Structure 1
Amino acid sequence: MFLKRPYTALLFVVIVLSSACSAKFARLQKKGTTEEKYAAANEYYKKGDYYKAGLLFEEIIPLLKGDSLAENAQFYNAYAQFQQKQYSMSSYLFKSFYATYANSPMAEEAFYMYAYSTYKDSPNYNLDQTNTLTAIDALQTFINSFPDSKYAQNCNEHLLDLRHRLEEKAYEKAKLYYKTSGVTIVNFKAAVVTIDNFQKDFPDSQYNEELSYLKVQSQYDYAMVSFENKQKERFLDVLKFYEAFIDAYPKSKYIKQAQKAYDGANKELERLAKQEQELKELKAKQAAEAAKADTATKG
Protein backbone atom coordinates (compact mmCIF):
# COMPACT_ATOMS: atom_id res chain seq x y z
CA MET A 1 0.00 0.00 0.00
CA PHE A 2 2.85 2.39 0.95
CA LEU A 3 4.55 1.67 -2.38
CA LYS A 4 1.45 2.46 -4.38
CA ARG A 5 1.07 6.02 -3.06
CA PRO A 6 4.38 7.43 -4.39
CA TYR A 7 3.76 5.64 -7.69
CA THR A 8 0.26 7.14 -7.94
CA ALA A 9 1.57 10.59 -7.09
CA LEU A 10 4.33 10.30 -9.69
CA LEU A 11 1.84 9.15 -12.32
CA PHE A 12 -0.38 12.12 -11.48
CA VAL A 13 2.56 14.54 -11.90
CA VAL A 14 3.45 12.96 -15.27
CA ILE A 15 -0.14 13.30 -16.50
CA VAL A 16 -0.32 16.94 -15.38
CA LEU A 17 2.99 17.83 -17.02
CA SER A 18 2.02 16.00 -20.19
CA SER A 19 -1.29 17.86 -20.34
CA ALA A 20 0.49 21.16 -19.75
CA CYS A 21 2.98 20.43 -22.51
CA SER A 22 0.19 19.45 -24.88
CA ALA A 23 -1.69 22.66 -24.09
CA LYS A 24 1.47 24.71 -24.61
CA PHE A 25 2.10 23.03 -27.97
CA ALA A 26 -1.51 23.59 -29.03
CA ARG A 27 -1.28 27.31 -28.14
CA LEU A 28 1.98 27.57 -30.09
CA GLN A 29 0.37 26.01 -33.13
CA LYS A 30 -2.64 28.30 -32.90
CA LYS A 31 -1.12 31.64 -31.88
CA GLY A 32 2.65 31.35 -32.30
CA THR A 33 4.50 33.43 -34.85
CA THR A 34 6.52 31.83 -37.62
CA GLU A 35 9.74 32.74 -35.78
CA GLU A 36 8.46 31.22 -32.52
CA LYS A 37 7.41 28.02 -34.30
CA TYR A 38 10.77 27.77 -36.05
CA ALA A 39 12.65 28.15 -32.77
CA ALA A 40 10.36 25.64 -31.04
CA ALA A 41 10.70 23.14 -33.90
CA ASN A 42 14.47 23.26 -33.53
CA GLU A 43 14.19 22.76 -29.77
CA TYR A 44 11.84 19.81 -30.17
CA TYR A 45 14.21 18.34 -32.73
CA LYS A 46 17.23 18.66 -30.42
CA LYS A 47 15.26 16.98 -27.61
CA GLY A 48 14.32 14.09 -29.90
CA ASP A 49 10.63 14.94 -30.15
CA TYR A 50 10.62 14.48 -33.92
CA TYR A 51 6.86 14.26 -34.18
CA LYS A 52 6.23 17.76 -32.83
CA ALA A 53 9.27 19.13 -34.64
CA GLY A 54 7.94 17.72 -37.90
CA LEU A 55 4.47 19.18 -37.33
CA LEU A 56 5.90 22.66 -36.78
CA PHE A 57 8.31 22.46 -39.69
CA GLU A 58 5.46 21.40 -41.98
CA GLU A 59 3.41 24.42 -40.83
CA ILE A 60 6.08 27.04 -41.37
CA ILE A 61 7.90 25.80 -44.49
CA PRO A 62 5.30 27.32 -46.88
CA LEU A 63 5.72 30.61 -45.01
CA LEU A 64 9.51 30.57 -45.25
CA LYS A 65 9.78 30.45 -49.03
CA GLY A 66 12.66 32.69 -49.99
CA ASP A 67 13.64 33.11 -46.37
CA SER A 68 17.14 32.17 -45.23
CA LEU A 69 15.58 29.81 -42.67
CA ALA A 70 13.68 27.81 -45.30
CA GLU A 71 16.73 25.71 -46.20
CA ASN A 72 17.30 24.52 -42.62
CA ALA A 73 13.60 23.96 -42.03
CA GLN A 74 13.26 21.69 -45.06
CA PHE A 75 16.46 19.81 -44.25
CA TYR A 76 15.52 19.06 -40.64
CA ASN A 77 11.92 18.33 -41.51
CA ALA A 78 13.21 15.55 -43.78
CA TYR A 79 15.33 14.25 -40.89
CA ALA A 80 12.34 14.46 -38.53
CA GLN A 81 10.40 12.14 -40.84
CA PHE A 82 13.39 9.82 -41.14
CA GLN A 83 13.75 9.61 -37.36
CA GLN A 84 10.09 8.57 -37.15
CA LYS A 85 10.83 5.80 -39.68
CA GLN A 86 8.63 7.47 -42.27
CA TYR A 87 11.15 6.45 -44.91
CA SER A 88 8.98 6.99 -47.96
CA MET A 89 8.27 10.55 -46.86
CA SER A 90 11.87 11.29 -45.84
CA SER A 91 13.07 9.94 -49.19
CA TYR A 92 10.74 12.35 -50.99
CA LEU A 93 11.72 15.31 -48.78
CA PHE A 94 15.48 14.75 -49.04
CA LYS A 95 15.21 14.38 -52.81
CA SER A 96 13.16 17.61 -53.00
CA PHE A 97 15.75 19.39 -50.84
CA TYR A 98 18.58 18.34 -53.15
CA ALA A 99 16.62 19.46 -56.21
CA THR A 100 15.91 22.84 -54.62
CA TYR A 101 19.28 23.47 -52.92
CA ALA A 102 21.78 21.65 -55.14
CA ASN A 103 24.53 24.14 -54.16
CA SER A 104 23.86 23.92 -50.44
CA PRO A 105 26.62 22.67 -48.08
CA MET A 106 24.01 20.09 -47.00
CA ALA A 107 23.21 18.94 -50.55
CA GLU A 108 25.56 15.95 -50.54
CA GLU A 109 24.21 14.70 -47.21
CA ALA A 110 20.64 15.24 -48.43
CA PHE A 111 21.30 13.16 -51.56
CA TYR A 112 22.81 10.40 -49.43
CA MET A 113 19.87 10.50 -47.03
CA TYR A 114 17.49 10.28 -49.99
CA ALA A 115 19.30 7.13 -51.14
CA TYR A 116 19.54 5.79 -47.58
CA SER A 117 15.83 6.40 -47.00
CA THR A 118 14.95 4.42 -50.13
CA TYR A 119 17.25 1.67 -48.84
CA LYS A 120 15.46 1.64 -45.48
CA ASP A 121 12.12 1.56 -47.30
CA SER A 122 13.13 -1.52 -49.30
CA PRO A 123 11.18 -4.65 -48.25
CA ASN A 124 12.36 -8.15 -47.39
CA TYR A 125 13.34 -10.34 -50.34
CA ASN A 126 10.09 -12.33 -50.28
CA LEU A 127 8.01 -9.21 -51.09
CA ASP A 128 7.74 -7.11 -54.24
CA GLN A 129 11.18 -5.68 -55.05
CA THR A 130 10.19 -2.54 -56.98
CA ASN A 131 11.43 -0.32 -54.12
CA THR A 132 14.66 -2.30 -53.99
CA LEU A 133 15.38 -1.44 -57.62
CA THR A 134 14.66 2.22 -56.89
CA ALA A 135 17.04 2.12 -53.92
CA ILE A 136 19.80 0.48 -55.98
CA ASP A 137 19.46 3.18 -58.62
CA ALA A 138 19.57 5.95 -55.97
CA LEU A 139 22.63 4.51 -54.21
CA GLN A 140 24.50 3.92 -57.44
CA THR A 141 23.68 7.43 -58.65
CA PHE A 142 25.06 8.86 -55.40
CA ILE A 143 28.32 6.92 -55.78
CA ASN A 144 28.64 8.09 -59.38
CA SER A 145 27.95 11.69 -58.36
CA PHE A 146 30.09 11.71 -55.20
CA PRO A 147 32.75 8.97 -55.61
CA ASP A 148 34.98 10.42 -52.87
CA SER A 149 32.19 11.03 -50.37
CA LYS A 150 32.47 9.83 -46.79
CA TYR A 151 29.14 8.10 -47.42
CA ALA A 152 30.39 6.09 -50.43
CA GLN A 153 31.42 3.06 -48.35
CA ASN A 154 28.01 2.95 -46.69
CA CYS A 155 26.38 3.06 -50.12
CA ASN A 156 28.49 0.13 -51.33
CA GLU A 157 27.47 -1.91 -48.29
CA HIS A 158 23.80 -1.06 -48.84
CA LEU A 159 24.12 -2.06 -52.50
CA LEU A 160 25.53 -5.46 -51.55
CA ASP A 161 22.62 -6.01 -49.19
CA LEU A 162 20.02 -5.00 -51.79
CA ARG A 163 21.57 -7.15 -54.50
CA HIS A 164 21.52 -10.06 -52.10
CA ARG A 165 17.78 -9.49 -51.63
CA LEU A 166 17.29 -9.58 -55.39
CA GLU A 167 19.34 -12.76 -55.52
CA GLU A 168 17.20 -14.38 -52.82
CA LYS A 169 14.02 -13.26 -54.61
CA ALA A 170 15.23 -14.67 -57.95
CA TYR A 171 16.29 -17.92 -56.30
CA GLU A 172 12.91 -18.39 -54.64
CA LYS A 173 11.18 -17.61 -57.94
CA ALA A 174 13.25 -20.25 -59.76
CA LYS A 175 12.55 -22.82 -57.05
CA LEU A 176 8.83 -22.00 -57.16
CA TYR A 177 8.65 -22.65 -60.90
CA TYR A 178 10.47 -25.93 -60.38
CA LYS A 179 8.17 -27.00 -57.53
CA THR A 180 5.04 -26.16 -59.54
CA SER A 181 6.34 -27.44 -62.87
CA GLY A 182 3.98 -30.40 -62.76
CA VAL A 183 0.95 -28.10 -62.98
CA THR A 184 1.33 -27.17 -66.66
CA ILE A 185 3.91 -27.63 -69.40
CA VAL A 186 4.44 -23.85 -69.34
CA ASN A 187 5.88 -24.12 -65.84
CA PHE A 188 8.44 -26.71 -66.98
CA LYS A 189 9.76 -24.26 -69.55
CA ALA A 190 9.51 -21.31 -67.15
CA ALA A 191 11.66 -23.16 -64.62
CA VAL A 192 14.43 -23.63 -67.18
CA VAL A 193 14.23 -20.04 -68.44
CA THR A 194 14.15 -18.58 -64.92
CA ILE A 195 17.18 -20.61 -63.83
CA ASP A 196 19.04 -19.57 -66.97
CA ASN A 197 18.29 -15.90 -66.22
CA PHE A 198 19.40 -16.35 -62.62
CA GLN A 199 22.76 -17.77 -63.72
CA LYS A 200 23.30 -14.78 -66.02
CA ASP A 201 22.31 -12.23 -63.39
CA PHE A 202 24.14 -13.87 -60.46
CA PRO A 203 27.09 -15.83 -61.89
CA ASP A 204 28.84 -16.05 -58.50
CA SER A 205 25.81 -17.05 -56.45
CA GLN A 206 26.03 -19.81 -53.89
CA TYR A 207 22.77 -21.19 -55.33
CA ASN A 208 24.11 -21.87 -58.81
CA GLU A 209 25.18 -25.44 -58.06
CA GLU A 210 21.69 -26.45 -56.93
CA LEU A 211 20.01 -24.52 -59.72
CA SER A 212 22.32 -26.01 -62.35
CA TYR A 213 21.12 -29.45 -61.29
CA LEU A 214 17.48 -28.30 -61.24
CA LYS A 215 17.97 -26.94 -64.75
CA VAL A 216 18.97 -30.44 -65.92
CA GLN A 217 16.03 -32.03 -64.13
CA SER A 218 13.53 -29.40 -65.29
CA GLN A 219 14.64 -29.76 -68.90
CA TYR A 220 14.31 -33.54 -68.68
CA ASP A 221 10.80 -33.27 -67.24
CA TYR A 222 9.94 -30.67 -69.88
CA ALA A 223 11.13 -32.96 -72.68
CA MET A 224 9.20 -35.92 -71.26
CA VAL A 225 5.85 -34.11 -71.46
CA SER A 226 6.52 -32.48 -74.84
CA PHE A 227 4.98 -33.48 -78.14
CA GLU A 228 7.06 -36.16 -79.84
CA ASN A 229 8.17 -33.92 -82.69
CA LYS A 230 9.79 -31.59 -80.08
CA GLN A 231 11.35 -34.24 -77.86
CA LYS A 232 14.63 -34.85 -79.67
CA GLU A 233 15.71 -31.23 -79.49
CA ARG A 234 14.69 -30.95 -75.83
CA PHE A 235 16.41 -34.18 -74.75
CA LEU A 236 19.57 -32.98 -76.49
CA ASP A 237 19.36 -29.86 -74.29
CA VAL A 238 19.28 -32.14 -71.25
CA LEU A 239 22.65 -33.58 -72.32
CA LYS A 240 24.02 -30.09 -72.92
CA PHE A 241 22.87 -28.81 -69.51
CA TYR A 242 24.23 -31.93 -67.82
CA GLU A 243 27.66 -31.53 -69.37
CA ALA A 244 27.79 -27.89 -68.28
CA PHE A 245 26.76 -28.93 -64.77
CA ILE A 246 29.45 -31.63 -64.54
CA ASP A 247 32.13 -29.30 -65.87
CA ALA A 248 31.26 -26.64 -63.28
CA TYR A 249 30.61 -28.95 -60.31
CA PRO A 250 32.44 -32.27 -60.80
CA LYS A 251 32.07 -33.18 -57.10
CA SER A 252 28.52 -31.93 -56.61
CA LYS A 253 26.20 -33.70 -54.20
CA TYR A 254 23.56 -33.59 -56.96
CA ILE A 255 25.54 -35.65 -59.47
CA LYS A 256 23.60 -38.90 -58.90
CA GLN A 257 20.24 -37.21 -59.47
CA ALA A 258 21.56 -35.39 -62.53
CA GLN A 259 23.00 -38.66 -63.86
CA LYS A 260 19.54 -40.23 -63.77
CA ALA A 261 18.14 -37.43 -65.92
CA TYR A 262 21.12 -37.73 -68.28
CA ASP A 263 20.70 -41.51 -68.62
CA GLY A 264 16.95 -41.10 -69.08
CA ALA A 265 17.49 -38.54 -71.84
CA ASN A 266 19.94 -40.85 -73.65
CA LYS A 267 17.48 -43.72 -73.44
CA GLU A 268 14.70 -41.54 -74.87
CA LEU A 269 16.99 -40.35 -77.67
CA GLU A 270 17.78 -43.98 -78.53
CA ARG A 271 14.07 -44.75 -78.60
CA LEU A 272 13.38 -41.76 -80.83
CA ALA A 273 16.28 -42.68 -83.15
CA LYS A 274 15.04 -46.25 -83.44
CA GLN A 275 11.51 -45.01 -84.09
CA GLU A 276 12.79 -42.57 -86.69
CA GLN A 277 14.78 -45.33 -88.42
CA GLU A 278 11.77 -47.66 -88.44
CA LEU A 279 9.62 -44.92 -89.93
CA LYS A 280 12.26 -44.24 -92.56
CA GLU A 281 12.45 -47.92 -93.50
CA LEU A 282 8.64 -48.12 -93.62
CA LYS A 283 8.45 -45.15 -95.96
CA ALA A 284 11.17 -46.67 -98.18
CA LYS A 285 9.29 -49.96 -98.30
CA GLN A 286 6.03 -48.21 -99.15
CA ALA A 287 7.76 -46.22 -101.87
CA ALA A 288 9.28 -49.40 -103.35
CA GLU A 289 5.91 -51.15 -103.32
CA ALA A 290 4.25 -48.16 -104.94
CA ALA A 291 6.90 -48.08 -107.68
CA LYS A 292 6.52 -51.85 -108.28
CA ALA A 293 2.75 -51.49 -108.52
CA ASP A 294 3.10 -48.59 -110.94
CA THR A 295 5.47 -50.63 -113.18
CA ALA A 296 3.07 -53.56 -113.21
CA THR A 297 0.18 -51.31 -114.22
CA LYS A 298 2.15 -49.79 -117.10
CA GLY A 299 3.27 -53.24 -118.28
Structure 2
Amino acid sequence: MKNILVLLVFAIVFCSCSTYQDALKSDDIKLKYTLADSLYQNGSYKKALKLYEQIVPLYRGRPQAERVMYAYSDIYYQLGDYYLAGYQFDRFVKSYPQSSKNEEAAFKSAESYYQLSPSYYLDQEDTNKAMEKLQEYINKYPESERQDKANAMVKELQTKLEKKEFEIAKGYNTIGASRNTFPNAMKSFDNFISAYPGSAYREDAMFWKFDSAYQYALGSRQDLMAERLAKAKEAYEVLEKYYPSGKYAKEVTKMIEDINVRLQTEETIN
Protein backbone atom coordinates (compact mmCIF):
# COMPACT_ATOMS: atom_id res chain seq x y z
CA MET A 1 0.00 0.00 0.00
CA LYS A 2 2.84 2.37 0.88
CA ASN A 3 4.53 1.75 -2.47
CA ILE A 4 1.27 2.35 -4.31
CA LEU A 5 0.83 5.73 -2.59
CA VAL A 6 4.38 6.73 -3.47
CA LEU A 7 3.80 5.79 -7.09
CA LEU A 8 0.50 7.68 -7.14
CA VAL A 9 2.12 10.86 -5.79
CA PHE A 10 4.95 10.52 -8.32
CA ALA A 11 2.46 10.10 -11.15
CA ILE A 12 0.51 13.19 -10.08
CA VAL A 13 3.67 15.31 -9.82
CA PHE A 14 4.94 14.00 -13.16
CA CYS A 15 1.64 14.72 -14.90
CA SER A 16 1.49 18.17 -13.31
CA CYS A 17 5.01 19.01 -14.49
CA SER A 18 4.24 17.61 -17.90
CA THR A 19 1.07 19.72 -18.18
CA TYR A 20 2.97 22.82 -17.11
CA GLN A 21 5.77 22.25 -19.63
CA ASP A 22 3.22 21.56 -22.34
CA ALA A 23 1.43 24.81 -21.51
CA LEU A 24 4.67 26.80 -21.70
CA LYS A 25 5.34 25.43 -25.18
CA SER A 26 1.76 25.57 -26.39
CA ASP A 27 0.22 28.17 -28.67
CA ASP A 28 -3.13 27.69 -26.92
CA ILE A 29 -3.66 30.99 -25.08
CA LYS A 30 -6.69 29.67 -23.22
CA LEU A 31 -4.70 26.71 -21.89
CA LYS A 32 -1.93 29.04 -20.73
CA TYR A 33 -4.42 31.38 -19.06
CA THR A 34 -6.37 28.62 -17.29
CA LEU A 35 -3.23 27.02 -15.88
CA ALA A 36 -1.63 30.37 -15.00
CA ASP A 37 -4.75 31.42 -13.08
CA SER A 38 -4.89 28.07 -11.27
CA LEU A 39 -1.22 28.31 -10.26
CA TYR A 40 -1.72 31.89 -9.10
CA GLN A 41 -4.74 30.97 -6.99
CA ASN A 42 -2.76 28.12 -5.40
CA GLY A 43 0.21 30.32 -4.58
CA SER A 44 2.61 28.83 -7.14
CA TYR A 45 3.73 32.31 -8.10
CA LYS A 46 7.03 31.55 -9.84
CA LYS A 47 5.44 29.04 -12.20
CA ALA A 48 2.43 31.29 -12.77
CA LEU A 49 4.71 34.21 -13.61
CA LYS A 50 6.32 32.40 -16.52
CA LEU A 51 2.92 31.80 -18.07
CA TYR A 52 1.65 35.31 -17.37
CA GLU A 53 4.72 36.77 -19.02
CA GLN A 54 3.67 34.94 -22.17
CA ILE A 55 -0.02 35.84 -22.13
CA VAL A 56 -0.07 39.44 -20.85
CA PRO A 57 0.72 40.95 -24.29
CA LEU A 58 -1.86 38.64 -25.90
CA TYR A 59 -4.73 39.67 -23.62
CA ARG A 60 -4.44 43.43 -24.08
CA GLY A 61 -7.81 44.78 -25.19
CA ARG A 62 -9.66 41.57 -24.30
CA PRO A 63 -12.35 41.24 -21.60
CA GLN A 64 -9.98 39.19 -19.42
CA ALA A 65 -7.23 41.81 -19.58
CA GLU A 66 -8.15 43.44 -16.25
CA ARG A 67 -8.04 40.15 -14.36
CA VAL A 68 -4.82 39.12 -16.10
CA MET A 69 -3.09 42.42 -15.35
CA TYR A 70 -4.10 42.41 -11.70
CA ALA A 71 -2.83 38.86 -11.19
CA TYR A 72 0.38 39.68 -13.07
CA SER A 73 1.02 42.70 -10.84
CA ASP A 74 0.15 40.80 -7.68
CA ILE A 75 2.52 37.96 -8.48
CA TYR A 76 5.45 40.38 -8.39
CA TYR A 77 4.10 41.72 -5.10
CA GLN A 78 3.76 38.23 -3.61
CA LEU A 79 7.29 37.33 -4.75
CA GLY A 80 8.72 40.46 -3.13
CA ASP A 81 9.82 42.03 -6.40
CA TYR A 82 8.64 45.44 -5.27
CA TYR A 83 10.17 47.46 -8.10
CA LEU A 84 8.08 45.64 -10.68
CA ALA A 85 5.08 45.31 -8.36
CA GLY A 86 4.95 49.06 -7.82
CA TYR A 87 5.34 49.74 -11.52
CA GLN A 88 2.75 47.18 -12.63
CA PHE A 89 0.18 48.20 -10.03
CA ASP A 90 0.67 51.81 -11.12
CA ARG A 91 -0.14 50.77 -14.67
CA PHE A 92 -3.17 48.82 -13.49
CA VAL A 93 -4.59 51.80 -11.55
CA LYS A 94 -4.20 54.07 -14.56
CA SER A 95 -5.53 51.52 -17.06
CA TYR A 96 -8.57 50.40 -15.03
CA PRO A 97 -9.78 53.38 -12.95
CA GLN A 98 -13.24 51.85 -12.52
CA SER A 99 -12.01 48.43 -11.45
CA SER A 100 -13.26 46.94 -8.19
CA LYS A 101 -9.60 46.13 -7.54
CA ASN A 102 -8.45 49.71 -8.02
CA GLU A 103 -8.21 50.61 -4.33
CA GLU A 104 -6.31 47.45 -3.43
CA ALA A 105 -3.98 47.95 -6.40
CA ALA A 106 -3.32 51.58 -5.39
CA PHE A 107 -2.47 50.49 -1.86
CA LYS A 108 -0.20 47.66 -2.99
CA SER A 109 1.55 50.04 -5.36
CA ALA A 110 2.22 52.48 -2.51
CA GLU A 111 3.20 49.67 -0.17
CA SER A 112 5.65 48.34 -2.76
CA TYR A 113 7.45 51.70 -2.84
CA TYR A 114 7.37 51.70 0.96
CA GLN A 115 9.14 48.33 0.95
CA LEU A 116 11.83 49.80 -1.31
CA SER A 117 12.62 52.64 1.09
CA PRO A 118 16.29 52.19 2.11
CA SER A 119 18.10 52.85 5.37
CA TYR A 120 18.08 56.51 6.41
CA TYR A 121 21.73 57.14 5.50
CA LEU A 122 21.20 56.19 1.84
CA ASP A 123 19.59 58.19 -0.96
CA GLN A 124 15.90 58.68 -0.12
CA GLU A 125 14.38 58.94 -3.60
CA ASP A 126 12.34 55.77 -3.06
CA THR A 127 11.23 57.02 0.36
CA ASN A 128 9.91 60.24 -1.15
CA LYS A 129 8.18 58.26 -3.91
CA ALA A 130 6.56 56.01 -1.32
CA MET A 131 5.32 58.97 0.71
CA GLU A 132 3.88 60.54 -2.42
CA LYS A 133 2.05 57.33 -3.37
CA LEU A 134 0.80 56.72 0.16
CA GLN A 135 -0.49 60.29 0.45
CA GLU A 136 -2.28 59.94 -2.89
CA TYR A 137 -3.93 56.79 -1.58
CA ILE A 138 -4.91 58.42 1.73
CA ASN A 139 -6.45 61.39 -0.06
CA LYS A 140 -8.29 59.27 -2.64
CA TYR A 141 -9.68 56.65 -0.24
CA PRO A 142 -10.36 58.45 3.07
CA GLU A 143 -12.86 55.78 4.19
CA SER A 144 -10.62 52.82 3.44
CA GLU A 145 -9.97 50.21 6.12
CA ARG A 146 -6.29 50.53 5.14
CA GLN A 147 -6.10 54.17 6.24
CA ASP A 148 -4.50 53.43 9.62
CA LYS A 149 -1.83 51.25 8.03
CA ALA A 150 -1.14 53.83 5.31
CA ASN A 151 -0.83 56.64 7.86
CA ALA A 152 1.49 54.53 10.01
CA MET A 153 3.74 53.91 7.02
CA VAL A 154 3.81 57.63 6.17
CA LYS A 155 4.80 58.43 9.76
CA GLU A 156 7.57 55.83 9.69
CA LEU A 157 8.96 57.18 6.41
CA GLN A 158 8.72 60.77 7.63
CA THR A 159 10.68 59.84 10.75
CA LYS A 160 13.32 58.24 8.52
CA LEU A 161 13.70 61.46 6.51
CA GLU A 162 13.94 63.45 9.72
CA LYS A 163 16.62 61.13 11.06
CA LYS A 164 18.67 61.60 7.91
CA GLU A 165 18.50 65.41 8.20
CA PHE A 166 19.23 65.26 11.92
CA GLU A 167 22.27 63.03 11.42
CA ILE A 168 23.62 65.36 8.72
CA ALA A 169 23.41 68.28 11.15
CA LYS A 170 24.95 66.21 13.94
CA GLY A 171 27.77 65.25 11.61
CA TYR A 172 28.80 68.91 11.47
CA ASN A 173 28.91 68.90 15.27
CA THR A 174 31.00 65.71 15.36
CA ILE A 175 33.75 67.14 13.15
CA GLY A 176 33.32 70.69 14.42
CA ALA A 177 36.52 70.93 16.45
CA SER A 178 38.79 69.63 13.70
CA ARG A 179 37.15 71.37 10.73
CA ASN A 180 35.50 74.40 12.29
CA THR A 181 32.00 73.31 11.27
CA PHE A 182 30.16 74.33 14.43
CA PRO A 183 28.51 77.29 12.62
CA ASN A 184 27.27 74.84 9.95
CA ALA A 185 25.92 72.61 12.71
CA MET A 186 24.04 75.46 14.37
CA LYS A 187 22.51 76.56 11.09
CA SER A 188 21.55 73.00 10.16
CA PHE A 189 19.91 72.40 13.53
CA ASP A 190 18.01 75.69 13.19
CA ASN A 191 16.77 74.62 9.77
CA PHE A 192 15.79 71.21 11.11
CA ILE A 193 13.82 72.61 14.05
CA SER A 194 12.01 74.99 11.73
CA ALA A 195 11.24 72.36 9.09
CA TYR A 196 10.14 69.62 11.52
CA PRO A 197 8.47 71.25 14.55
CA GLY A 198 6.80 68.00 15.60
CA SER A 199 9.79 65.75 15.07
CA ALA A 200 10.77 63.01 17.49
CA TYR A 201 14.31 64.46 17.18
CA ARG A 202 13.33 68.00 18.18
CA GLU A 203 14.80 67.82 21.70
CA ASP A 204 17.98 66.23 20.35
CA ALA A 205 18.30 68.97 17.73
CA MET A 206 17.92 71.71 20.35
CA PHE A 207 20.48 70.08 22.62
CA TRP A 208 23.07 69.59 19.88
CA LYS A 209 22.56 73.13 18.67
CA PHE A 210 23.33 74.27 22.20
CA ASP A 211 26.34 71.94 22.36
CA SER A 212 27.60 73.26 19.01
CA ALA A 213 27.26 76.87 20.14
CA TYR A 214 28.97 76.05 23.44
CA GLN A 215 31.93 74.30 21.81
CA TYR A 216 32.19 77.01 19.17
CA ALA A 217 32.48 79.62 21.94
CA LEU A 218 35.10 77.64 23.85
CA GLY A 219 37.27 77.39 20.75
CA SER A 220 37.07 81.11 20.01
CA ARG A 221 39.63 83.83 20.43
CA GLN A 222 39.39 85.63 23.73
CA ASP A 223 37.92 88.78 22.18
CA LEU A 224 35.07 86.75 20.62
CA MET A 225 34.36 84.35 23.44
CA ALA A 226 31.94 86.46 25.50
CA GLU A 227 29.71 87.17 22.50
CA ARG A 228 29.64 83.52 21.50
CA LEU A 229 29.04 82.34 25.05
CA ALA A 230 26.02 84.64 25.15
CA LYS A 231 24.74 83.03 21.92
CA ALA A 232 25.22 79.60 23.46
CA LYS A 233 23.26 80.75 26.51
CA GLU A 234 20.40 81.80 24.20
CA ALA A 235 20.37 78.28 22.73
CA TYR A 236 20.29 76.91 26.27
CA GLU A 237 17.30 79.08 27.17
CA VAL A 238 15.33 77.77 24.21
CA LEU A 239 16.14 74.18 25.16
CA GLU A 240 15.25 74.84 28.79
CA LYS A 241 11.95 76.45 27.80
CA TYR A 242 10.70 73.38 25.94
CA TYR A 243 12.53 70.61 27.80
CA PRO A 244 13.28 71.83 31.35
CA SER A 245 13.79 68.30 32.66
CA GLY A 246 14.81 66.63 29.42
CA LYS A 247 17.01 63.65 28.80
CA TYR A 248 20.12 65.83 28.52
CA ALA A 249 19.50 67.63 31.83
CA LYS A 250 22.73 66.44 33.48
CA GLU A 251 24.98 67.55 30.61
CA VAL A 252 23.05 70.79 30.15
CA THR A 253 23.43 71.74 33.83
CA LYS A 254 27.22 71.36 33.68
CA MET A 255 27.46 73.31 30.43
CA ILE A 256 25.34 76.27 31.54
CA GLU A 257 27.19 76.47 34.86
CA ASP A 258 30.47 76.68 32.98
CA ILE A 259 29.03 79.34 30.63
CA ASN A 260 27.85 81.48 33.55
CA VAL A 261 31.22 81.23 35.29
CA ARG A 262 33.05 82.21 32.11
CA LEU A 263 30.70 85.12 31.44
CA GLN A 264 31.16 86.40 34.99
CA THR A 265 34.93 86.14 34.56
CA GLU A 266 34.71 88.11 31.30
CA GLU A 267 32.68 90.82 33.02
CA THR A 268 35.20 91.02 35.85
CA ILE A 269 38.10 91.38 33.41
CA ASN A 270 36.32 94.06 31.40
**Superposition TM-score tier, normalisation by shorter sequence:** 0.7 to 0.9
**Is 1:254 the counterpart of 2:248 in the alignment?**
yes
1:247 deviates by: 1.5
Paired residues of 1:232 and 1:272 also in contact (CA < 8 A): yes
Deviations 1:235-282 (A, max 9, x none): 33212101111212222353453344445555666777789x7xxxxx
Structure 1 partner of 2:50: 55
**Is 1:115 the counterpart of 2:115 in the alignment?**
no
Deviations 1:44-89 (A, max 9, x none): 0011011121221121111112111111111110000000011111
Matches of 1:249 and 1:21, distance apart in 2: 68
Query: In the alignment, which of 26, 29, 39 is matched to residue 24 of structure 2?
Result: 29
Structure 1 partner of 2:233: 239
**Is 1:193 the counterpart of 2:187 in the alignment?**
yes
CA RMSD between the two structures? 3.1
Matches of 1:193 and 1:15, distance apart in 2: 71
Structure 1 or 2, whichever has the larger Rg, is: 1
Compared CA separation, residues 132 and 250, structure 1 to 2 (3 A): same
Structure 1 partner of 2:78: 83
Matches of 1:258 and 1:269, distance apart in 2: 16
Deviations 1:93-130 (A, max 9, x none): 00011111122222222112111211122234344332
Matches of 1:30 and 1:253, distance apart in 2: 67
Matches of 1:245 and 1:157, distance apart in 2: 29
Matches of 1:266 and 1:208, distance apart in 2: 25
Superposition pairs for residues 3-22 of structure 1, below 5 Å? Answer: 21-22=16-17
Which stretch of the first structure deviates more once superposed, 35-44 or 109-118? 109-118
Long gaps (5+) in structure 2: none
- Which TM-score applies when normalising by structure 1? 0.76
Instruction: State the 4+ residue runs in structure 1 displaced beyond 6 angstroms.
Output: 12-17, 227-230, 270-275
Compared CA separation, residues 264 and 70, structure 1 to 2 (3 A): same
Matches of 1:95 and 1:62, distance apart in 2: 17
Long gaps (5+) in structure 1: 1-5, 278-299
1:200 deviates by: 2.9
Structure 2 partner of 1:144: 139
Matches of 1:18 and 1:168, distance apart in 2: 52
Which stretch of the first structure deviates more once superposed, 217-226 or 136-145? 217-226
Matches of 1:138 and 1:164, distance apart in 2: 17
Which stretch of the first structure deviates more once superposed, 133-142 or 226-235? 226-235
- Which TM-score applies when normalising by structure 2? 0.83
**Is 1:203 the counterpart of 2:202 in the alignment?**
no
Paired residues of 2:226 and 2:266 also in contact (CA < 8 A): yes
Matches of 2:164 and 2:13, distance apart in 1: 47
Matches of 1:137 and 1:101, distance apart in 2: 20
1:38 deviates by: 1.0
Structure 1 partner of 2:214: 220
Letter in 2 for 1:180: I
1:43 deviates by: 0.4
Superposition pairs for residues 258-297 of structure 1, below 5 Å? Answer: 258-265=252-259
Deviations 1:172-222 (A, max 9, x none): 444433333233112x23322333233234434444334322211111222
